[in-house]
């Protein structure tokens, strides 16, 4: 990666990948600098926008994080991961109705997107929409039975 950056210091893919690695090492400030470099070259790099949202979320800069998740979803409205990450943050903000709408948008793109189905079910459960939540829990179990223990644990937590 460093060799690529020595040859081409503005290589978006190399900057983005190195930024992701640094984020994984919890070197958030260094990762943010590289992701910002990607966005300087290409302000509409949807993966970099999403990853900046993730880094800012890790730094507990939630309002800024929300802004970058929104930008990534606007740049590539057909990217289910952009929509799901934004929905996750909205659910964390307790903006449940907005989160539900974003999860549903992700599921319009990929109706079998397991983690979006599961997180939608959890959000509906927290909102008190138990019957609808059970429908989505059943849906995710039909796709992947490994969710059974997680669903059971979550229901116990909320009781």
SS3 (DSSP) at 28:
helix
Cα separation, 117 vs 138, whole angstroms: 10
| Range in 14-18, 83-87, 149-153 the model is least confident about | 149-153
Q: For the chain, give the mean pLDDT.
A: 87
Residue 156 pLDDT class (50, 70, 90 cuts): low
Is the per-residue pLDDT at 4 higher than 50?
Answer: no
Q: Which two tokens stand for residue 83?
A: 């929509």
Residues in the chain: 159
**What are the chain's domains?**
1-76 (1.25.40.10), 95-159 (1.25.40.10)
Report pLDDT digits (tens) over 65-123. Answer: 999 989 988 888 888 998 999 999 999 999 999 999 999 999 999 999 999 999 999 99
Predicted TM-score (pTM) of the model is: 0.77
H/E element, 57: helix 46-58
Q: Which two tokens stand for residue 30?
A: 């260094």
């Amino acid at each position: 990666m460093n060799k690529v950056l020595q040859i081409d210091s503005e290589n978006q893919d190399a900057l983005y990948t190195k930024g992701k690695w640094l984020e994984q090492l919890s070197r958030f400030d260094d990762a943010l600098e590289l992701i910002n470099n990607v966005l300087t070259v290409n302000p509409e790099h949807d993966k970099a926008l999403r990853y900046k949202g993730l880094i800012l979320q890790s730094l507990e800069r939630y309002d800024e994080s929300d802004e970058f998740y929104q930008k990534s979803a606007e740049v590539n409205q057909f990217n289910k991961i952009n929509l799901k990450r934004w929905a996750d943050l909205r659910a964390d903000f307790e903006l449940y109705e907005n989160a539900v709408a974003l999860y549903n948008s992700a599921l319009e793109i990929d109706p079998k997107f397991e983690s979006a189905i599961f997180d939608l079910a959890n959000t509906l459960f927290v909102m008190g929409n138990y019957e609808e939540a059970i429908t989505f829990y059943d849906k995710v179990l039909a796709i992947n039975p490994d969710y059974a223990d997680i669903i059971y644990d979550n229901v116990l937590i909320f009781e």
